[in-house]
Amino acid sequence: MSLKERITEDMKAAMRARDAERLGTIRLLTAAMKQKEVDERIELDDPAVVGIVDKLIKQRKDSVEAFDKAGRKDLADKEAAEIVVLQAYLPARLSADEIAAEVKAIVAEVGAKGPGDMGKVMGAAKARLAGKAEMSLVSAAVKAALAG
């Protein structure tokens, strides 16, 4: 079963269970997926769906931070609950050590020498680690690898 089919099945299950919060979050995800399919006239595969889920999670994290600063605990909690639902559709994430090892291998492959090669390394890292690791952690690992 593809990730897209699993999301559709989860939406049906949430409807049957009358789980309004979960259903709302899954509907947001399906709307984002349909929007991308319509805009680009493509059929989404699993990596593309993971990319959309990653983007939605990042938006929610930014919102939680903004709501916390504004003192809106109720809205921050709602966004945090949506993050939990969305994270169920992501593949297992790499640990910090695994990310560092992958980045070291990528640095060796592209022959990067210093901080000036950050773009080359990040391009290769994005291609290899998309959906498997949070890109902010990958970026920090690349900076550390190129500085040392």
Question: Domain 96-147 carries which CATH code?
Answer: 1.10.10.410
Q: Residue 148's pLDDT is what?
A: 66
Spans of all domains in the chain: 3-87, 96-147
Q: Distance between CA 13 and CA 49 in Å, rounded?
A: 20
- Quick one: average pLDDT of 72-100? 91
132 pLDDT more than 70: yes
Q: Is 73 exposed, middle or buried (0-12, 13-18, 19+ CB in 10 A)?
A: exposed
Give the phi and the psi of residue 35 in degrees, each rounded to 5.
-60, -45
pLDDT tens digits, 35-85: 999 999 999 888 889 889 989 999 999 999 999 999 999 999 999 999 999
Position 135 scores a pLDDT of 81
Q: Which fold has domain 3-87?
A: Hypothetical Protein Yqey; Chain: A; domain1 (1.10.1510)
